[in-house]
Amino acid sequence: MLLAVLGALGGCSTLTPQVFSPYFDDLPAQAQSRQTHRAPTLHEAMAEAQQLQFRYINAARQLSEVNAGSSAALLGLSALAVFKGITNPTTRDLAGLGILASGTYAYGTTMVSRPRQALYLAGADALACALTASQPYDLAAGFVRGAPDSLETLAKNADQAALQLEQALRALRPLAVDRQIKVNTESPQPALCQGASLTPPPKPPASAGADALRLWELQDRNVRKLTRSCAPSRPIDVTLTAHPEVKPMVEALEAALRSLSRQSQQAGAQIGVIETAPAALWDRMMNIQVKVAGEVIKTEPDIGAVRSAAQGLRSGAFALTGAAAFAAPAASAASGAASMPQGTPQIAANQPSGEDDTKPRASPRPTAELQNAQIALDAARSAHDPLRAKLAQLKARVDQVSTPLARCGSAGSITAATLNLLPDDTEREVTAGQSISFHVSGGTGIPNALVLAADGSGARNLGPPTIDGARFKFVYSAAATAKEGTRETVQFTDAAGQLATVVHVTVRAAAK
């Protein structure tokens, strides 16, 4: 019986309170290989996270086995004490059994910690959230690069089509507005003007009769016409109205360019997210391990601190794990301006021109420019539709994890998300003509940055961010002519506009 008790306890004695991923099993070898080893792929990072999740669950199970083993050992020791007390009671044996039972009880109560079990389970739950956020980006080979229909190739095709649209617009925009030009009147015809009388005949009295009046009107009109023809050539201002086909074509080109540019920007942002997803998952896994390990050594562990490691899984490198990243801007969605135009632009009927030299004249049809514009429109449609379909595939994968991710972000189990800024200083200084950078993570979607002047004179966007690791990078540049002490406020917000943080930037004069 004693051997059974010792065996039960010995089987649980290998339990260690600290649990880490397989990466930390051989730290010297890992440190050596990390200097030359490539960064893990998303599939490898997910496999490492799954193994850590298994270890957390197994640690919680082992704690339960310790509790069961110590209880069984105490029952066995109690039975043995009763047997010894009935058959051959001795003070030494009973004292030994009492000490052994006390040790077994102390072992069980010391090794078994329900808060620690909860910590392990919370760590496994946080890893489950991180793995869920990563799933949309565990893509087949060729989805991002290296294939004719890869996201990168389709985005490049869209950029080339956008360049064609811009070239067509540069050629057509000047022709879409009325223009003032100088033209010369016709030169006089000497054969007609020489010796001709340019004096209008006197108007006959009313008593001369209707025939005489009609004859005078005809003579007067001929004299005035001859006077204009014989006048010296001179420049006059004439308005050339835009050809009726030009303006509708310009509007179609602009709408196509807006739609194509938006698709290309989405593709670029998604490529950045996909490429940073492995590092983001790896960092998240390390963060969870550190939090769990830190709480394990505490007398009163904080389970909520471990669960908070799962917060913001729709931010940073996981910024686009939500439908909001694919939604069109409100203004474009309402006006339809961002949609790709279909068919041939409608034109207005041509208006006849007047005979007066000073009246507006219709511009000639810019045939070559209109043909190039139609070619650019067709190329834009050919590039737009495949890219939109590719992004729709990715959006469908994102939508599949939206429900479980909502649980990861609920207030009941996880603290609210935050917008993180590095450096986290609220006051920054920059030399005139120089630049400083900000790294933003957290929140929902791609963050925005707005620069507000101290005097309230206006605001400007800090430009689209770039992907830098698992964060979005903004660059603030101070003008070389900025005065000493110029102060501006940079306001960062997430895509949903629910989280914000501000930094005050002061410009210092360059050293002379």
Q: What are phi and psi of 318, to 5 degrees?
A: -95, 30
What does the pLDDT read at residue 251?
92
For residue 244, give every residue at least 6 positions away whose Cβ sits within 8 Å of its Cβ, in sequence order, or none.
Answer: 347, 348, 349, 350
Tell which residue, 82, 106, 108, has the closest CA to residue 93.
82
Both structure tokens of 69: 């083993």
What does the pLDDT read at residue 87?
64
- CB of 19 closer than 8 Å to CB of 59: yes
For residue 87, give every residue at least 6 positions away whose Cβ sits within 8 Å of its Cβ, in sequence order, or none.
Answer: none
Tell which residue, 241, 254, 470, 268, has the closest CA to residue 341.
254
Residue 262 zone, left/alpha/beta (φ > 0; ψ -120 to 50; rest)? alpha
Q: Strand pairing partners for 183?
A: 236
Tell which residue, 243, 238, 247, has the closest CA to residue 365.
243
Side chain identity, residue 221: R
**Neighbour-count burial for 129-163, b at 16+ CB within 10 Å, e otherwise:** bbbbbbbbbbbeeebbeeeeebbebbbebbeebbe
DSSP 420-482: EEES--SEEEEETT-EEEEEEEESSSS-EEEEEETTSS-EEE----EEETTEEEEEEE--TTP
- CB of 107 closer than 8 Å to CB of 9: yes
Tell which residue, 503, 483, 446, 233, has the closest CA to residue 319.
446
Residue 336 zone, left/alpha/beta (φ > 0; ψ -120 to 50; rest)? left
What does the pLDDT read at residue 500?
83
- CB of 288 closer than 8 Å to CB of 211: no
What does the pLDDT read at residue 65?
59
What does the pLDDT read at residue 80?
54
Q: Per-10-residue mean pLDDT for the chain, 512 residues long?
A: 46 58 67 56 90 86 60 53 56 55 51 71 84 88 91 93 93 83 59 66 83 84 75 67 88 91 86 84 85 75 58 40 38 43 48 49 83 92 92 86 68 48 86 90 78 77 76 87 88 80 88 68
What does the pLDDT read at residue 156?
93
* E-assigned strand segments in 202-287: 235-241
What does the pLDDT read at residue 506?
92
Residue ranges per structural domain of the chain: 2-112, 151-176+245-408, 186-233, 419-508
Residue 442 zone, left/alpha/beta (φ > 0; ψ -120 to 50; rest)? left
Q: What are phi and psi of 419, to 5 degrees?
A: -100, 115
Would you call the peptide bond into 235 cis, given omega within 30 degrees of 0 as the criterion? no
Architecture of the structural domain at 419-508? Sandwich (2.60)
What does the pLDDT read at residue 327?
41
Rounded to two decimals, the pTM is: 0.55
Q: 3-class DSSP state for residue 505?
A: strand
For the chain, how far is it from start to end, CA to CA, in angstroms?
A: 89
Q: Strand pairing partners for 18?
A: none
Give the separation between CA 342 and CA 344, rounded to whole angstroms: 7
- CB of 111 closer than 8 Å to CB of 383: no
What does the pLDDT read at residue 418?
65
For the sheet with 419-422, list strands across it: 419-422, 435-442, 471-477, 466-468
Q: Strand pairing partners for 235?
A: 184
- CB of 369 closer than 8 Å to CB of 168: yes
Side chain identity, residue 120: Y
